[in-house]
Amino acid sequence: MAEPKADVLVLGAGMVGVSAALQLQGKGRDVILVDKHENAGEETSYGNAGLIESASVFPYMFPRDIGQIFNYALNRSPQAYYRFSELPDFLPWLLRYYLASSPKRAMHSAMAELPLIRRSLIEHEALIAEAGAGELLRRTGWIKLFRAQASLAAAASEAERVKQYGIPSEILDPRAIAAREPNLSGDFAGAVYWPTPGFIADPGGLAKAYASLFLRKGGRFVTADARTLAQEGSGWRVNGASAREVVVALGPWSDLVFRPLGYSIPLGVKRGYHLHLKASGNAVLNHPVLDSDLGYLLAPMNRGIRLTTGVEFARRDAPPRPIQIEQALPRARALFPLGEPVDAQPWMGARPCLPDMLPVIGKAPRHSGLWFDFGHQHHGLTLGPVTGRLLAEMMTDTEPFTDPRPYAVERFG
């Protein structure tokens, strides 16, 4: 059987890769999607809070408060965890992350990401409608709970700050929290309700729905090892397929391809965990709810109530250590009546992060036909379709909807 050939190979069938493949297909390109799994959405895209975060103007930067940093360093914060013995592995990246999080540079990242955030739900809506996956999108928004008055005041100030970018919010007192979520228990100072973000009740299922749409429109899916990528003549080849151009959209595994090609890009990972549980009795959770001061989130997924954790700083391929799930579970049970686990064990994934919390989107400077689309940090689900659109516009010499320069790989030298 002859090896399939196309205009473009897209390496990685997570939300970012599948979205890029669809957007390129929409521009008339013949695309082959390549992944080590037989199905799309089996890795990072499977495990997240399910939020299309169209209200998240300011990315997750390294804290500048000394007390907060001190708590992180001593593993006293539920938002982050690490093992001291592994600190040398990720400390250089962590220092770059800290430097990129200065007020001036953080604002630069926020303004660079804003055009992507603003179009994130719009691009998803178009693909969801075409894929016939409307049942996966819920218009509930989400709730950020606070137990301390100080943290509520800081969040309310932040919510007021982002209103200048057209992002609405509502401050909820304990009575308003109970009206929206009558099955929650706890002593709350208040909450911020974000009404505009979309919620996906099965993130991995949405990636699969997009992949099915890609196949129905004539795309092809090849199971292969992206590490076999090689430049051959005027094109590119992996074991099983070849094309004139290739897109690296492998998320936290992108370095397995770009490093052998000679690119030094500071790609780090933030690991995270989730566990699905049944709701007890007739209890219902109406929104994704972040218990901000205690560092976990509950989301009403199709599979059950998904309990997600904060960040673990560790080697990407280190064995799972679901310590944060173990710590969060009794707190989550006190917040909402959770029953037995649905999953046999917690799921673990890795978020691909660059120090400035912006993705790399665009042409590789030293190789003809090589393109990058990775590093979407906490927003892979959110940004997949919109960064896929920008990439497709760049690859087809179409006027891009926003200036792509902030996402260029050259910013790292």
- DSSP letters, 287-355, are S-EEEGGGTEEEEEETTEEEEE--EEES-TTSPP-THHHHHHHHHHHHHS-EEEESSSS-EEEEEEE-T
Q: How confident is the model at residue 1 (pLDDT cuts 50, 70, 90)?
A: low
5-47+204-266+355-412: CATH topology: FAD/NAD(P)-binding domain (3.50.50)
Query: Are the beta carbons of 248 and 254 closer than 8 angstroms?
Result: yes
Q: Which residue blocks in 74-182 are alpha helix, DSSP H?
A: 87-100, 103-131, 149-162, 174-180
CA distance 67 to 6: 54
- Asked if 8 contacts 243 with a C-beta cutoff of 8 angstroms, the reply is yes
Question: What pLDDT, in 10s, does the model give residues 356-400?
Answer: 999 999 999 999 999 999 999 999 999 999 999 999 999 999 999
The kind and range of the H/E element at 19 are helix 15-26
Q: Provide the 3-class DSSP secondary structure of residue 240.
A: coil
Q: What phi, psi does 362 have (nearest 5°)?
A: 140, -170
Report yes or no: 198 and 137 within 8 Å, Cβ to Cβ: yes
What is the percentage of the chain residues whose pLDDT exceeds 90?
Answer: 93
Per-residue confidence band for 196, with pLDDT thresholds at 50, 70 and 90:
very high
In whole numbers, what is the pLDDT of the chain averaged over residues?
96
- Cα distance between the two ends of the chain: 43
DSSP secondary structure letter of residue 268 = E
pLDDT score recorded for residue 406? 98
The pair of structure tokens assigned to 77 is 């914060």
Residue 193 to residue 150: CA distance in whole angstroms: 17
Q: Distance between CA 156 and CA 161 in Å, rounded?
A: 9
Band of pLDDT at residue 63, cut at 50, 70 and 90: confident
**Residues 122, 408: contact at Cβ < 8 Å?**
no
pTM of the model: 0.96
| pLDDT interval class at 413 (50, 70, 90) | confident
Q: What is the pLDDT of residue 46?
A: 94
